[in-house]
Amino acid sequence: MTKAEAVRAMFTRIAGRYDLMNSVMTGGRHHAWRRLTARAVAGAPAGLALDLATGTGDLALAVRVAAPGRVVVGADFSEAMLRHAQGKLAARGERSVPLLAADALALPFGDTTFACVTSAFLLRNLADLAAGLAEMRRVTVRGGLVAALEITRPGVRGWDAVFGLYFNRVVPLIGAAVARDRAAYTYLPQSVERFVTPVQLAQLMRQAGLRDVRYRRLGLGTIALHVGTA
């Protein structure tokens, strides 16, 4: 099984408990991080927005709130996640967030289709990070914005160890109890350990052709929000 197939199967399994797990693991702070991501692209040129790995649609909805006149396309390669997103959108009467199944490494859109592209907790899961960043850049208009929200190691002695203990020991236990899927929430901290640092991600974004790349740490240094200009 390829990494993409394994990740799709994992998200299909946990789709029904995904929102609950996010709230339990972060104390509900993941909504605030998504709002900050949405605000970071609110000043993008007029036009469509794309939310990659939209999951159950929380970031797409945040982008709509930050820029009410903008249509946001939500794309994910897990149809189970998209079904939950569709239910959430319908419950809110939201008609400006069309959803579709799509692979982030081979987006079914022409060049310069979107004024901004966002993602939350996608990049660690890509089989080819550089190719994924290149796709995000390709579909963004000149002067548009690309924003990525990711989990990261704090990089602070002492706190790094505390975070590692929580993430590597406690989170899998929560995943087993709440999501009934310990394997998925064992993969989560392992994927963070293997992922690039915020400095390295910023450099990869520049290599993909993005300009003015900057990032800020959130969540006591455990979350990084990167933004670049196409």
Domain coordinates in residue numbering, the chain: 3-152+196-229
Q: What is the pLDDT of residues 60-117, one digit of tens each?
A: 999 999 999 999 999 999 999 999 999 999 999 998 999 999 999 999 999 999 999 9
Distance CA 74, CA 101 (A): 9
Q: How many CB atoms lie within 10 A of CB 88?
A: 17
Residue 162 CB contacts under 8 Å (≥ 6 apart), including other chains: none
Mean pLDDT lowest among 82-91, 129-138, 173-182, 217-226? 173-182
Residue 156 pLDDT > 90: no
Contact between 40 and 146 under an 8 Å Cβ cutoff? The reply is no
Q: What is the pTM of this model?
A: 0.96
CATH fold of 3-152+196-229 reads Rossmann fold (3.40.50)
Q: What percent of the chain has pLDDT over 90?
A: 88
- Max mean pLDDT among 168-172, 179-183, 200-204 falls in 200-204
Question: Dihedral sign, CA of 124, 126, 179, 95?
Answer: positive
